[in-house]
Chain A
């Protein structure tokens, strides 16, 4: 079956540090890939996405590139802020068009940014 693996953390960084959160996946085919962010007490919000190999998703200074050869979708940001503290989820979607569901989430990475 499909799966997503990401570091669980917590990951603790100082403000303005460079961020990388690794995400690798296993899927039979070519999924769409997503990063979601969850702030305390809230639902998940889509942060960025990529739907095919070599696509780069970007939003709010975050970036991730769909790497088919390494089956990875690592999240990066050049300079983090305290407000980036949250839980980040990597996810994939294999759309089959039938009744089965192909949405799979990683376990989430708790990011803590210290001033």
Chain B
């Protein structure tokens, strides 16, 4: 069966520090991968999605970047965090016509 792992679960980082969040999927090949962000009390904001290794589509211009170095690995990064980067970050995957499956999320607080 397929599983998705996202870590860390919580993270507190100072303004100006770098960020790296990792997401890996097991049990499937060539999935579409997604990074979403939720601000407190808000809906999902699609940040990036990827349909294959090295293929990244950015939905919102911002302080973040994404990479897909391996088929089932999706990384969200920042060189210098801003206060406004605080939020709940969710990784998800889907394949073909199936629904999307989500990780448990990372709560990022920038202080």
A interface residue numbers (CB < 8 A to B)? 8, 32, 34, 36, 41-46, 49, 51, 89, 91, 93, 95, 99, 101, 103, 105-108, 110
Q: With the chains together, A42 CA to B43 CA distance in Å?
A: 14
Task: Provide the residues of chain B in CB contact with A8, threshold 8 Å.
Answer: 43
**Nearest B-chain residue to A109, judged by Cβ:** B43
Q: Interface range on chain B: under 10, 10 to 19, 20 to 34, or 35 or more?
A: 20 to 34
Task: Provide the residues of chain B in CB contact with A41, threshold 8 Å.
Answer: 105, 107
Task: Provide the residues of chain B in CB contact with A51, threshold 8 Å.
Answer: 97
Taking a contact as CB atoms under 8 Å apart, the answer to whether B32 and A108 are in contact is: no
Taking a contact as CB atoms under 8 Å apart, the answer to whether A42 and B44 are in contact is: no
Interface pairs (19), CB distance under 8 Å? A8-B43, A34-B99, A36-B102, A41-B107, A43-B6, A43-B90, A43-B102, A43-B103, A44-B100, A46-B99, A89-B43, A89-B44, A93-B97, A99-B51, A101-B32, A101-B51, A101-B57, A103-B100, A107-B44
Question: Is chain A's interface secondary structure helix, strand, loop, or mixed overall?
Answer: strand
Q: Mark B71-95, 1 if CB is under 8 A from A, else 0.
A: 0000000000000000000101010
**Nearest B-chain residue to A107, judged by Cβ:** B43
Q: Mark B34-75, 1 if CB is under 8 A from A, else 0.
A: 100000011110100101100101000000000000000000
Measured between C-beta atoms, what is the minimum distance from B88 to chain A in Å?
8
Measured between C-beta atoms, what is the minimum distance from A98 to chain B in Å?
9
**Nearest B-chain residue to A103, judged by Cβ:** B100
